[in-house]
Amino acid sequence: MLTVETVSAADAPDTPAARRLLSLTPDALRRAFPFLILLDAELHILEIGASLAKALPLARVGRSLHDVFRVTQPVASRDPAQWIAEAGALCTLRPIVTPQMMLRGAVEPLADGSILLLVSPVFASMDHLSALGLRFSDFARHDAVTDLLLMARSMQMAAHDTQRMARRLRERGDQLNAVLDLSINGVGYFGPDGVLQLNNARFATLLELEAERMTGLRLAMLDDHLAHLLAGADRGRLALTDWARAGSPDEPLHLCLGEADPRHVCLRLRHTHEGGTIVYVQDTTREAQIDRMKSEFLSTAAHELRTPMASIFGYTELLLFKSFPPEEQRSFLQTIHNQTALLVDMVNELLDLARIEAGREKEFRLAPTRLDAIVSRAQRAIAPSAARHELRISLDPGDAMLMVDAAKTHRALLNVLSNAVKYAPNGGVIEVTSCREQRGGRAMIGVRISDQGIGMNAQQLERVFERFYRADPSGEIPGTGLGMSLVKEIMELQRGEVTVQSQPGVGTCVTLWFAEFANPAAAESPIGVSEGVMPSEIQKRS
């Protein structure tokens, strides 16, 4: 049994009644000092605390103290007598293999000549403690290091949590900024003080805000800016702040900004819990244009369909309820036939446009096709209606290969030729020629159709590709106004283009530009040749 005697400082050391003995069993001593070291008179280790043995496996019984530790206190630590002389004094040890750990405690010489070192570890951080494989249970309950380590661990965990939350906030902020920057819609946040604190670039673009106006921008200032941009009679009637308070959070506010080139935007405002305001801006210009075009299309289509149907209904009603001479009946039937043909053409062209727009490239079957084959096929198709015209065809080179959909290209060329015949009602020459050009860095073949018809002015020329638009509004020239729209769709979906030049009273020149197919092997292929005839077979027709 290890016995420790303590003497009260208030009592005389030689008074037996005053002397109290306190005895500890070896197990109690080891529990109270789990890092103790017991040395013999030669400073060899006789016993070592369980926790210290766990942290320092090299500190085994029988080894010299100086083989395991570097002793800082006492200074003359290699002299056993010095240890005895330092009874109750401070001793500091640092393990040689683990210098980040330090042991501090008191020297207690024992009666049998051995030396007891009652020490505790000092750590710089929780990482050092974990690296040695120690836990809080390895320390004595009365040891202050437990409280210090617990506090350090709590602070370290709090710091790690703070760093993790800060990292997550940064990541979330980066994600939010990326989403805002990539968004096609504008977002702006006005703080509780009404000043703009956050916005993406699209916000400034849609609302036509210059960079110098963004700093310090207030919601009331944005209100004034938009009120000035409002088109027509709505100018000056905007009150965003009042509207945000009175309106539903999800109720949109539609604005038309500008006069010459109007921009349609849709605003949504929502208040935050802290009193800020989020302004969400969506560009609805395209939707407004589509709605306008749809309304115009429906109105025009209804008008164009109603005209021939009214003629058909009127003449059939006359034939049903009245008697007419055979010559008049035939004239009525001819009118009904012509108007019905016009309706059929209009419906077919509408269906063609709808199929092309719905299927886009899927509706096209591109293949190498000879230029002269396409022109010859269109020539034969237009011949019956071009009896009063002289059709001159000059293709150079006529054997050029085009990568096109033969059927669709025939339809486009036939539409242009049909217009040349209809808009030159008094006859004249219709020339079909070809040419080669570099357009946009590509080798292109152009098929040019020129007539001597009524022509178009600059305003009419700008609208030539609009659906249902007709340069002659009199109605004397039959047609649906869809032909050139269809031509443009067909050419663009074949990576080609169409250009139109015209002068009133002189005539019109339409050029269809095709990408040239320059594969020599394909040039010898019969694909497309069966559609028409060779250049030598193309004749002038009057």
- DSSP states along 387-449: TTEEEEEE-TTTT-EEEE-HHHHHHHHHHHHHHHHHT-TT-EEEEEEEEEEEETTEEEEEEEE
Query: From edge to edge, which strands make up the β-sheet containing 115-122?
Result: 45-48, 37-39, 115-122, 102-109, 90-95, 69-73
Identify the three-state secondary structure at position 126.
helix
Q: How far apart are CA 331 and CA 158, in angstroms?
A: 98
Ramachandran angles phi, psi of 385, nearest 5°: -90, -5
Residue type, 113: G
Confidence band, pLDDT 50/70/90 cuts, at residue 236: low
Q: How far is CA 22 from the centre of its chain?
A: 79
Confidence band, pLDDT 50/70/90 cuts, at residue 2: very low
Alpha carbon distances (Å) from 61 to 3, 38, 57, 65: 22, 9, 10, 10
Confidence band, pLDDT 50/70/90 cuts, at residue 11: very low
Confidence band, pLDDT 50/70/90 cuts, at residue 527: very low
**pTM score above 0.75:** no
Residues 6+ apart with CB under 8 A from 381: 410, 414
DSSP state of 96: S
Q: How far apart are CA 100 and CA 55, in angstroms?
A: 12
Residue type, 331: S
Q: What percent of the chain has pLDDT over 70?
A: 80
DSSP of 273-329, one letter per residue?
TTS-EEEEEEE-HHHHHHHHHHHHHHHHHHHHHHHHHHHHHHHHHHHHHS---HHHH
Confidence band, pLDDT 50/70/90 cuts, at residue 540: very low
The average pLDDT across 164-189 equals 86
Of 359 and 529, the one with more pLDDT? 359
Q: How far apart are CA 203 and CA 107, in angstroms?
A: 76
- What is the pLDDT, as a whole number, of residue 530? 36
Strand pairing of 442-450 and 401-404? unpaired
Q: What is the pLDDT of residues 331-388, one digit of tens each?
A: 989 989 888 887 887 787 777 777 766 665 556 788 898 999 999 999 998 888 888 8
- What is the pLDDT, as a whole number, of residue 7? 34
Confidence band, pLDDT 50/70/90 cuts, at residue 502: very high
User: Residue 271 burial (CB < 10 Å; 0-12/13-18/19+)?
Assistant: middle
Q: How far apart are CA 415 and CA 469, in angstroms?
A: 15
Confidence band, pLDDT 50/70/90 cuts, at residue 432: very high
- What is the pLDDT, as a whole number, of residue 44? 93
- What is the pLDDT, as a whole number, of residue 9? 37
- What is the pLDDT, as a whole number, of residue 243? 60
- What is the pLDDT, as a whole number, of residue 541? 34
Residue 1 above 70 pLDDT? no
Ranges 166-175, 210-219, 240-249, most confident = 166-175
Q: How far apart are CA 396 and CA 445, in angstroms?
A: 10
Confidence band, pLDDT 50/70/90 cuts, at residue 38: very high
Query: Under a CB-based contact definition with an 8 Å cutoff, are residues 336 and 316 in contact?
Result: yes
Confidence band, pLDDT 50/70/90 cuts, at residue 509: very high
The average pLDDT across 527-538 equals 35
- What is the pLDDT, as a whole number, of residue 416? 92
Q: What is the pLDDT of residues 45-103, one digit of tens each?
A: 999 998 888 888 888 899 999 999 999 888 888 888 888 888 888 999 999 888 778 88
Range with the lowest mean pLDDT among 291-295, 326-330, 336-340? 291-295
Handedness of CA 162, 163, 166, 168 (dihedral sign): negative
Q: What is the pLDDT of residues 133-155, one digit of tens each?
A: 787 778 877 766 556 666 766 78
Q: How many residues does the chain have?
A: 542
User: Residue 40 burial (CB < 10 Å; 0-12/13-18/19+)?
Assistant: middle
- What is the pLDDT, as a whole number, of residue 294? 75
State the Cα torsion 258-260-264-268 to the nearest 10°.
0
DSSP state of 146: H
SS3 content of the chain, % helix, strand, coil (to 5): 45, 25, 30
Residue 540's nearest CA partner among 370, 389, 373, 435 is 389
Q: What are the b/e assignments for 61-84, b being 16+ CB within 10 Å?
A: eeeebeebbebeebeebeebeebe
**How high does pLDDT run on average in the chain?**
80
- What is the pLDDT, as a whole number, of residue 529? 37
Identify the three-state secondary structure at position 130.
helix
**Beta-bridge partners for 389:** 428
**Is-cis flag, bond preceding 74, omega within 30?**
yes
- What is the pLDDT, as a whole number, of residue 40? 92
Q: What are the b/e assignments for 320-340, b being 16+ CB within 10 Å?
A: eeeeeeeeeeeebeeebeebe
Q: Residue 269: which H helix or E strand, with range?
A: strand 263-271
Residue 305 above 90 pLDDT? no
Ramachandran angles phi, psi of 46, nearest 5°: -95, -35
Query: Under a CB-based contact definition with an 8 Å cutoff, are residues 453 and 472 in contact?
Result: no
**Beta-bridge partners for 442:** 439
Residues 6+ apart with CB under 8 A from 97: 56, 58
Q: What is the pLDDT of residues 393-425, one digit of tens each?
A: 998 877 888 889 898 899 899 889 988 988 887
Beta strands of 30-144 (E only): which ranges? Answer: 37-39, 45-48, 69-73, 90-95, 102-109, 115-122
- What is the pLDDT, as a whole number, of residue 446? 92
